Structure formats: C-alpha cells, structure tokens
Chain A
C-alpha cells in the first residue's frame, strides 16, 4: 500500500490534495478503506455547507460498521462526488482517485496534517 507523496493526511485517515485556486479534494485513505471493508453507503456534506476541521461531516457505512467522516480542514464545500454516492465501492477500488469524496474551499487548516511518509509511519506504527 503506498500513500501518494503529493497528498497530505489527517490522523482520522482522510487525505487532502494540494489546493488549486484555494480548493482541495478530500477522500479517505486506502488504509482506512481496507479497514472498513466494502463501503455500501456514503453520506456527504452538501455543496455550500461549512465544515470544520476535526468535526464530523458525514458517514461511511460498511458491512460491519458505520464510521464518521471527519473534515481534515475548515472551509466551504464546493463539490461532492456523485459517482461515489451512486457507487460507494469506488471508495474501496480507487480511494485516492475515483473514490474521492468532496472538494472544499479551505479557510483554515490544523497544524497537524501529516506528510505521506509521516502518515505511512503513523499507520504502520
């Protein structure tokens, strides 16, 4: 399992892309997707919602459990991935690509986001 170098990571296992025009893409990591098992339902925030770093902004249901989705940064939702709402298995098959969850216009970010290497060490340790 390899975590893309260009992304940053939260300890709640979300990834965050480099902002383009202030907007970052967010998803959950492959490590998290594997731990959940087959994802069958995702509930995402709505476009226009304000999410707050570290707070719940949705949920992911798998066969065995339901998990909170945490916002890795604070900001306004600009887009949600309708494909993953329609086919939640994208979270498992392509967590870093087609399984992205939402885009957010970042207004604030916590200081403890991890680099790819730090996140890999965090999940192995």
Chain B
C-alpha cells in the first residue's frame, strides 16, 4: 500500500477558525481548505489593492540538513542550491531521469547546512520519496516536516505595513525571495518574502499550535488596512493573472522545464551530476532546433470562460490546449494560459480562438504575465 493513498481528509490548524468565518471549504490534494469566505472576486481585488490573508498549511515542507545538504539538493534538483546564500530562497524544480517535471519547488536556505524544500500539497509525498531515494550516499538527512509547520501568507500592497506593526524583524532589508527567522506577534516564525499572487507579500512558517494566535493578530493588525481572509479560489486567479504556472496545469511529468518555457531553472553549469541532466540537455537542444509548443496568454474578446483542456484553434485546426482559464477580475475579461504551436505564439497573432463547447470564441494572444505590479 502506498503512503500517498490516504482517505482521511486532512485539516489545518486553522480549520475551526475558517468555519467560524463561514468559509466555503473544498477538497484540495486531500486537504479540506477554504475555497472562499465570501466573494472570490472581492478577495482577489483586496489582494491587488490592499491585503489578503491565506492559510497555506497544505503546502509540503521537507527539511534537508547535514554536511552534504547542498550537495544532495544539487544532485536531486535541477537548480544550483549550493549557490543560494543563507537567508535566501530559490524557485526550482525536481525532475525525473527522463526530464519530466515531478514538481516545482521553493527552496529556502535556512543555514549553511540546512534547507527547507516547499512542495505542492499534491506532490509532497512524491517529492519526499524522491529526495529520500536520491539521498543515498550523501551525508544528509531528509525529514518530513509537513506536520511541523502551519503556513500563513499575507499578500498585497499593504502587507508590509501590516506585518511591520507586529514584528521588529527588518522587513525593509528582506528582499523578494529571502527569508529570516523572527517573531511576529510574539510567535516564532520564518518570515519569507515570497508568494504566488504577483503582489508584494510574506509567507510565515510557524508551529501549528501558534497558527490561530498569529492569524488573529494579523486580522486585527490588518483591520484598518482592509485586509480580508482569502481562499484558494482567488489564489488561483491571482497566480493566473501573474502568469505563474500551477503543477497539474502548466507543469507535468510529460513536460520538461524547457517545454514549459522555464529552461532557465536548469543549471547545467553547476558542479557534478544531477538527476535528469542527460535528458534535459537533449530537451534544451530540441527546444533550440525545433521550438516546442509555447506557453502563451490568451485574452477573450467575449465573455465565455476558457477552461483547462479546451482546444485552441486557428483556421479550423487545433493548434494548442488551454492549461488554466478564469475570468480575470483585474482585466475584466476571461483569460487563459495555453500551450500553442510556435507559429501561433507571437503576441498579436490573429485568428486564434478557443473551442468553448463547440463554439470558436476569438482570443487575443498576449505575452505573459497578464498583470505586473507597479514597483
């Protein structure tokens, strides 16, 4: 029996609080998570203009520590994690030997010999199993810390001001994709300037027993700034507008990072071998010679919403497939990410449509992201 086959629904440390707030809950990768508290469009807008509070405790934390922690991660992942400074984070991927993407990850270097790998909830077990298997022969420990952390995110232009009122940590000195240990509202936390919304924001890794206290302190501190609790529904539209891939949609085991337009995460110049090197070098060569389908943005001219799996068409031929689609609250129109043939991928390409249940609706091809915050 595989350890991934668990039928029991998992609940976060904030479960009772979500219910008291009237959240609509949804099953997400085996977790019962808030989908939305009220209107998901209002939650989306709050994050774009003010601030939103998210429970992301379903994310999978794995600690890698020991004298050869860096060497292990450089072998197991496609990035150069040895080159990441202490207190910094890196977006990276873990691939199979054939180059297929097992998951995309954020890896925080907590100390010279300690890293925290954050995997998607749906892939956490796969990533854990792969890291354990790949750790053979390395002087490093791989530890399942999924139950050791609750994760609360504060995202949006007001997030820095809200957090500052609760911590003495040097937030101004904390760069994007950096993390530092500190205390927020008296609660020990790893404070990371990361997120999945396209806004400035913070992710706070804390012990589960401190989660309710921290959530309530953030709620109070954010009251005047218009902070609202936000569910996974708006998290999805926020990341889609920001052009960020989601595993299972834009990323899968049947694609390499080069197929996903994310070949830059593969660091061939790093020392030593790594899982997938040979296949990924071949994939990089193929991408040079014959461009694979390209991940593009599509903006609807009409109001019908494209969904994952819908065909992208041009001149009566199928030229691609939608991977994610939603009504965009910021653009006021439906948007999608889609893999399309290179010949139709240039922004402004005419005559592209999406087959929406038999009707070919016109779409404009645009460069990603759909939305970029002003800095």
Kindly supply a per-residue 1/0 record for chain A positions 33-66, scoring 1 wherever the CB is within 8 Å of any chain B CB and 0 otherwise: 0100110110100000000000000000101111
The A-B contact count (CB < 8 A) is 38
User: Is B24 interfacial (CB 8 A cutoff)?
Assistant: yes
Q: Interface residues of B, CB < 8 Å — how many?
A: 16
Any chain A CB within 8 A of the CB of B32?
Answer: no
Return the contact of B327 from the options A34, A43, A61, A92 (Cβ within 8 A): A61
A34 and B24 alpha carbons, distance in the complex (Å): 9
B31-54 Cβ-contact flags toward A at 8 Å (1 or 0): 000011001110000000000000
Q: Do the beta carbons of A38 and B40 come within 8 Å of each other?
A: yes
Expressed in whole angstroms, the Cα–Cα distance for A34 and B357 within the complex equals 24
Size class of the contact patch on chain A: 10 to 19
Cα(A37)–Cα(B37), bound, Å: 10
Contact A63 B303 (CB under 8 A): no
**B41 contacts A63, C-beta separation under 8 Å:** yes
CB of A63 within 8 A of CB of B40, answer yes
Within 8 A of A (CB), among B305-355: 305, 307, 326-327, 334
Taking a contact as CB atoms under 8 Å apart, the answer to whether B233 and A64 are in contact is yes
Q: Is the CB of A63 within 8 A of B326?
A: yes
* A92: nearest chain-B partner, CB-CB: B39
Is B40's CB under 8 angstroms from A66's CB? Answer: no
Q: Enumerate chain A residues within 8 angstroms of B65, measured Cβ to Cβ.
A: none
Decide: A40 near B233, CB < 8 A? Known: A63-B326, A92-B39.
no
Instruction: Tell me whether B304 and A38 are in contact (CB under 8 A).
Output: no
Residues of chain A with a CB closer than 8 A to B233's CB: 37, 63-64
A38→B236 CA distance, assembly (Å): 14
- A38–B41 alpha-carbon span in the complex (Å): 7
Residue in chain A with minimal CB distance to B303 = A41
Q: Does B237 contact A (CB under 8 A)?
A: yes
**Minimum C-beta distance from A45 to chain B (A):** 16
Establish whether residues B39 and A38, one from each chain, have CB atoms under 8 Å apart when the complex forms: yes
**Chain B residues with a Cβ under 8 A of chain A:** 24, 35-36, 39-41, 233, 237, 303-305, 307, 326-327, 334, 357
A/B interface sample: 20 pairs, CB < 8 A:
A34-B24, A37-B24, A37-B35, A37-B39, A37-B40, A37-B233, A38-B40, A38-B327, A40-B303, A40-B305, A40-B327, A40-B334, A41-B304, A41-B305, A43-B304, A61-B303, A61-B304, A63-B41, A66-B305, A66-B307
* Apart from A37-B35, A61-B303, A63-B41: 19 A-B pairs, beta carbons within 8 A: A34-B24, A37-B24, A37-B39, A38-B40, A38-B327, A40-B305, A40-B327, A41-B303, A61-B304, A61-B305, A61-B327, A63-B40, A63-B233, A63-B237, A63-B327, A64-B35, A64-B233, A66-B307, A92-B39
The residues of A with any CB-CB pair to B shorter than 8 Å are 34, 37-38, 40-41, 43, 61, 63-66, 92
